Structure 1
Amino acid sequence: MDERHQVVVGVLADEGLPEQVVTSLADELPEVLAAQVGGQARWRVEHVVDQLPLDDDGEIPMRELSRRHRRDRGWDLLVLVTDLPRRSGTSPVAAGVDVDHGVAVISLPALGAVLVRRRARALLVRVVRHLLSRRSGAEGDPGDQGGVTRLSEALAPTKPLSDDDGSAQTHVALVGLRGRLRLLAGMVRDNRPGRLVPHLAGATAAAAGTAAYGVITSSFWKLADALSPLRLAVISVVAILVMTAWLVVYNRLRDRPRDAAERRKAVLYNISTATTLAIGVACMYAILFVLSLLGAAVLINSDYFAQTLGHPVGAGSYLNLVWLCTSVGIVAGALGSSLEDEETIRNATYGRRERERQERNRRERGHRESADR
């Protein structure tokens, strides 16, 4: 008979990526916890998928969720997994731990854009170890437990950070440039830039039409032949930046809070928005380039192409032509994006949590403007 005491860990995951990550980890977590936290206990992990609520401040009510779910489900510990970027003051955090209430929260954007599953597993072990060690009266800290070496390889640089109010709540905060870049990468991943292309029907039509016109126009042939690869590369970068800037400005996607502290926080959100759009436009560029190249290969006879240019042509001549036509098409696509509905662009650009944050900010601005009147 197994006389080891049982520890039941409940994992409550947000819908979307948190759900995918937690579901993929669920079966292996009891064994991992036994190996890395404590083999003297029998571990049981139960996971539930639900949309985690937000309070009036836009934060997840950890303590309220802990009281409800631990009581109703008989869980000893609760770990929340969300795709909501979190901060403690001005510091971005990967995890928050409330030892008094037996609950921790893990923010997936802080884990970056790659190896998310492995990093989430390492961080989950870290917070459970901290909760259990403090619960049993042993010294514990989210930054000094065993396995820090492994974790430092899997996570951006972190440091333990306590709340200023003297509570037992602590955080695993991201520090340094690497930490902020990893958070930015995670926020961009959560926005899923690839979703942008199908939602830009007007922009895609304008870009494709302009590129097709360039492919069959002899003046484009001669211009592309006269341009160096370096200049063509610069033109393509400028075209992507122009369309990105147009989408941001025209659709009012830039965050501009009045409060100075909020403006500092908004910098990362604005960079995330611009990066998401730039990647989405780059995906459109790549698709348009491939389609234009196929069209040029089918439509343009090589002998006639050589006769027009006045010299023999090869694959490089076709590539230069398509390169130029795609760049001009992307600029035309920026104008075509004006036909898109602003809300459609927002839904395609942002993940669910970011849309919730922006909607809350708009409501707050509306309340302030009403009060000013």
Structure 2
Amino acid sequence: MKPIHVGLVADPAAPTEIAQRMSNLRAPAGKGRAAWDIEVVSEPFTTGSEDVDTAMARLRDQARQHEWDFVIGLTELPLRHDDDSRYLLAKTDPQRSTAVLSLPALGGLRMHARARRAVRALVSGMAEPTSQDEHRVPLPRHGGRARLLVGMVLANRPWLLVPGLKSALVAALATGAVATINSTVWLLAGSLSWWRLMIATIASIALVVGWLVIDGELWDRPDNNSAEARERSRLYNTSTLVTLTIGVLIGYVALYLVNLVWALFILDPAVMGGYLQVSLGYGDLFVLAWFVASAATAGGALGSGLESDEAIRAAAYSKREEERRNRLAREGG
């Protein structure tokens, strides 16, 4: 039996990585079912538009060029249908053998396995359609937007933000190392209650996140005054803020641990207590490291400046969309 040629058109970066791991995707077992021949193409087919119909039209063009029987697009952008305010997981057009899958709508966890199952289901559905009508798979009204947001944040890979803050972290570590042995810092740390220390933590992280947004020009603004454009910007900006907050929080925890180890290594609370004429124990070192981490995060990071790193720009969906547009313009030119 002649194999079915299936094209996977994936946006660059993470979608392409996921698609390439599906090159060995096989059809479900069963008599009379043709084998699948998978071909992967990396192409920014959603560039400049989140309209599902536009994306599917571009996919059909790819299918004609490569002579595929079926084509499925994989994108990390959220997709909405004009007739429905809900976001989509997928849309299929069996008559034209075309489908598009929004990867963040899968929720982010176990992305490769979920994407693999979704693509297999889409191909099987188009190979043996129960109807030639278009099908949409909207996300649930309750919890659907939250699942999409989680998927977008995980797609941003916030843990990769830390290398983008390397010079700021080095400055913060230097600031913390000096502050740890400063008697005034000891007195300040000892005078603060736990809720003041918590406020200092939140304020320092918020300060760095705010500076990253401003310095990197990461805030997305609507292209027009339509409700759809405003909703898209809100979603983009929320995912950016959550991503940056997680990334900075990871750096903060790392800074706290380094300061704590440094304090435990070089300081004797009894000696410092005698110098300050107060009673100190090793438990006070944990409070000291906490206060120093907050002060060093704000002072060291902002004082050193923040480099414009790809990891920082990748934290914003709007920036990746801008890069997709630029890439398409260069290829077209």
Fold-level similarity (TM above 0.5) = yes
Partner-residue secondary structure (3-state), 1:97? strand
Say if 2:91 and 2:99, in contact at 8 Å, map to a contact too.
yes
Partner-residue secondary structure (3-state), 1:45? strand
Match of 1:22 among 16, 19, 35: 19
**Residue matched to 2:158:** 193
Superposed displacement of residue 128, structure 1 = 2.0
Structure 1 residues 247 and 218: alpha-carbon distance in aligned structure 2, compared to 1, 3 A threshold? same
**Residue matched to 2:115:** 120
Q: Distance in 1 between matches of 2:215 and 2:316?
A: 22
Superposed displacement of residue 247, structure 1 = 2.2
Say if 2:176 and 2:292, in contact at 8 Å, map to a contact too.
yes
Letter in 2 for 1:84: L
Say if 1:11 and 1:45, in contact at 8 Å, map to a contact too.
no
Partner-residue secondary structure (3-state), 2:40? strand
Say if 2:80 and 2:86, in contact at 8 Å, map to a contact too.
yes
Match of 1:275 among 231, 242, 257: 242
Letter in 2 for 1:72: H
Letter in 2 for 1:127: L
Structure 1 residues 201-212: aligned runs within 5 Å: 201-212=166-177
Partner-residue secondary structure (3-state), 1:42? coil
What are the superposed Cα offsets for residues 187-214 of structure 1, whole Å, 9 maximum, x if unpaired?
Answer: 1122222232222244324422332232
**Residue matched to 2:80:** 87
Say if 1:76 and 1:102, in contact at 8 Å, map to a contact too.
yes
Structure 1 residues 203 and 175: alpha-carbon distance in aligned structure 2, compared to 1, 3 A threshold? same
What are the superposed Cα offsets for residues 58-109 of structure 1, whole Å, 9 maximum, x if unpaired?
Answer: 6564334334435634x32122222233222343212121222201111211
Partner-residue secondary structure (3-state), 2:205? helix
Q: Distance in 1 between matches of 2:101 and 2:199?
A: 41
Superposed displacement of residue 319, structure 1 = 1.0
**Residue matched to 1:265:** 232
1:355 counterpart = 2:322: no
Letter in 2 for 1:99: P
Q: Distance in 2 between matches of 1:361 and 1:12?
A: 17
Q: Distance in 2 between matches of 1:49 and 1:309?
A: 70
Letter in 1 for 2:231: R
Structure 1 residues 62-101: aligned runs within 5 Å: 62-69=56-63, 72-73=66-67, 75-89=68-82, 90-101=85-96
What are the superposed Cα offsets for residues 140-189 of structure 1, whole Å, 9 maximum, x if unpaired?
Answer: 8xxxxxxxxxxxxxxxxxxxxxxxxxxx4432221234211111112112
1:288 counterpart = 2:255: yes
TM-score where L is the length of structure 1: 0.75
Letter in 2 for 1:126: A
Partner-residue secondary structure (3-state), 2:92? strand
Match of 1:311 among 279, 285, 290: 279
**Residue matched to 1:328:** 295
Partner-residue secondary structure (3-state), 2:218? coil
Name the count of aligned residue pairs.
319
Partner-residue secondary structure (3-state), 1:96? strand
Q: Distance in 2 between matches of 1:184 and 1:309?
A: 52
Structure 1: where are the runs of 5+ without partners? 141-167, 363-373
Q: Distance in 2 between matches of 1:245 and 1:67?
A: 42
Structure 1 residues 177 and 249: alpha-carbon distance in aligned structure 2, compared to 1, 3 A threshold? farther
**Residue matched to 1:46:** 38
Identity %: 31
Q: Distance in 1 between matches of 2:94 and 2:188?
A: 67
Structure 2: where are the runs of 5+ without partners? 327-333
Structure 1 residues 110 and 309: alpha-carbon distance in aligned structure 2, compared to 1, 3 A threshold? farther
TM-score where L is the length of structure 2: 0.83
Q: Distance in 2 between matches of 1:54 and 1:361?
A: 9
What are the superposed Cα offsets for residues 218-270 of structure 1, whole Å, 9 maximum, x if unpaired?
Answer: 12112222333343233212221222123223443222224132112211111
Say if 1:192 and 1:276, in contact at 8 Å, map to a contact too.
yes
**Residue matched to 2:268:** 301
Partner-residue secondary structure (3-state), 2:21? helix
What are the superposed Cα offsets for residues 330-366 of structure 1, whole Å, 9 maximum, x if unpaired?
Answer: 11145236x335xx2575232696424246899xxxx
Superposed displacement of residue 40, structure 1 = 2.9
Q: Distance in 2 between matches of 1:34 and 1:360?
A: 35
Structure 1 residues 333-348: aligned runs within 5 Å: 333-336=300-303, 339-340=305-306, 344=308, 348=312
